[in-house]
Amino acid sequence: MAGEPLIQRTGTPENPIRIAVLFSGSGTGMNALFQHQENESCIHKTVLSITNKSDAGGILFANERDIPVEIETIDPTLTKQVRRIEQERRIMKHIEQYDVELIVLSGYMRILSEDFVSMYYPKIINIHPSLLPAFPGADVHSDVLSSQVRVSGCTVHVVDSGMDSGTILGQCRVPVFTEDSRASLAKRVQIEEHRLYPEIIDLICSGHEVVLDD
């Protein structure tokens, strides 16, 4: 089956693919991407960062590089369904304003609505701390340790309307040791996340063809 690029143009250092990063926490993965983009030959650039947490640690990393940060929190006065739609509409306005070509989720701890995903599919990608399709969802490392499997890892995938179910773009395996704690396993996986994610983004922005899952 023939594939096609996720983005309809190829980035160059002079005209890089414009990326928005959505994050909720410390932003260490986002910072690893920023560091990767400091390479003069990089063909993508983060032009916008968006968080749903006003105290997210990653705000500092964006500020250090003068990357615009938009803080779009949830309005608790609205019903659960309405507040998600209302928040995503605000996010969409920023994405359009900055002419974003690829949306990168980096520790963004909210499930995107089907409407949001369908608007930008397949130009939303995520990194998940397991070897999908095994161990989707939250608290992955605890689930891995409870299962007593000996290998875990991380997966970069296209975001679709399911739970961590989109087309897999790349994976990295990490050993699980009998003496591992949740923290030690998470740290080992995170090292590989910070390496793998920028590599896959490089491929996407260079026109690498992908066969999307039906």
Which residues are catalytic, by number? 128
Which among 31, 44, 52 has a CA at the least distance from the CA of 194? 31
Which among 205, 208, 209, 206 has a CA at the least distance from the CA of 18? 205
DSSP helix/strand/coil, 196: helix
Q: Which amino acid is at 206?
A: S
> Would you say 62 and 27 are in contact if contact means Cβ atoms under 8 Å apart?
yes
Task: Count other C-beta atoms under 10 Å from residue 40's C-beta.
Answer: 6
Which among 8, 1, 19, 13 has a CA at the least distance from the CA of 124? 19
